[in-house]
Chain A
Amino acid sequence: MGHHAHSGNLDVDRAMGLVPMLTCNEYRALTPWRRLCYRIHRHPLVLFGLDAWFYFLIVQRFPQKMPKPFTQPRILWTNVGIAAVYAIAALTVGWRELLLVQAPIVVISAGVGRWLFFIQHQFANGYWERAAEWDYYTGALAGSSHYDLPPLLHWFTGNIGFHQVHHLNAAIPNYRLQECLEKTPVLQTAPRFDLMSSFRCASLGLWDEDRHELVPFSRARA
């Protein structure tokens, strides 16, 4: 619940984020084994593959950190609904066919979903600060990217690439995000990526608190 309210706050948001991120100093303080684990976790095949599937298929179906009285019954009923849809689909087309069709959709969409979460907040010149220095508006505007995708991909992704707009006012419907961006000049100052330049961020793994940038692992030794 608190990701938008604490976006970019190193002391709060990282515990809520989907993508694990350490600072250079935190990484240096780890044992070699824990460093290896972190590096494996940050590897694109794990981050956008295995871990994404585990997160969306298991963790989000049985979340432990959500406020129980409010959200747990809703998630339970969502799970019942998902099971019912799968059961009806299986009885209609067969379990084998359901698996052959649905499994690749789930695998790919989980990876794409994780990538979107990643690129929205983890990029070289992003914004991460300790609680004492952190500011909500800077976190939303400088810490959220404007993912400048081709129009068709914007449609496919529900315009979530206009992420800075979504962060500053999450009540704006997805089909009005672009309109809001175009008519509010201050929103156009957010860090901007196109598809090709965004892929360079995949190799970045640590936040350098001194330089205020996300850096590759090779910089941790500096």
Chain B
Amino acid sequence: MQTVRPADWSQASLDAMKAFAAPVLRRSILQLCTSLAGYLAGWYAMLRLTEVHYGLTLLLAFLVAGLRSGSSSSFTTASTGRSSARGVPTTSSASSSAFS
């Protein structure tokens, strides 16, 4: 495996990345809506499946848990944008709340 060492890293690459930091409102809203709607729909489906067989509820839990993990990532990288160019991270409250 070849990795880039500091000497190979250029300021131009960092500057080029900044162009992608601009949020696109339509895509942000779409991301949040699909995650939330999918999660709520999955949750309701799990609830109804408890009346059929709990094993089916557990099976669907893998899918819904994935949406929960995804929404955590979405919140930390899509909706906050509180980071500096040096990549100081967002606070953990947004990410952790998705798991609680």
- A interface with B by C-beta (< 8 Å): 1-5, 56-57, 60-61, 63, 66, 71, 74-75, 78-79, 81-82, 93, 97, 100-101, 104-110, 112-113, 116, 125, 127, 135-138, 140-142, 153, 155-160, 165-177, 179-180, 183-184, 186-187, 189-191
Contact = CB atoms under 8 A, between A and B. Distances in A.
A155 to B, nearest CB: 7
B3 A169 contact: no
Contacts of A157: 66, 69-70, 73
Interface in B1-26: 1-6, 8-10, 13-14, 16-18, 20-21, 23-24
Contact of A168 (B14, B58, B77, B92): B14
Interface in B50-87: 50, 54, 57-58, 61-62, 64-74, 76-78, 81-87
Given A1-B91, A112-B65, A158-B78, A173 B23 contact: yes
Given A113-B69, A171-B21, A174-B74, A138 B5 contact: yes
B87 A109 contact: no
A141 B3 contact: yes
B90 A173 contact: no
The interface residues of chain B, by DSSP majority, are classed as helix
B47 A101 contact: yes
Interface of B: 1-6, 8-10, 13-14, 16-18, 20-21, 23-24, 27-28, 31, 43, 46-47, 50, 54, 57-58, 61-62, 64-74, 76-78, 81-93, 96-100
Given A101-B57, A109-B69, A1 B96 contact: no
A44 B49 CA distance: 30
A187 B78 CA distance: 20
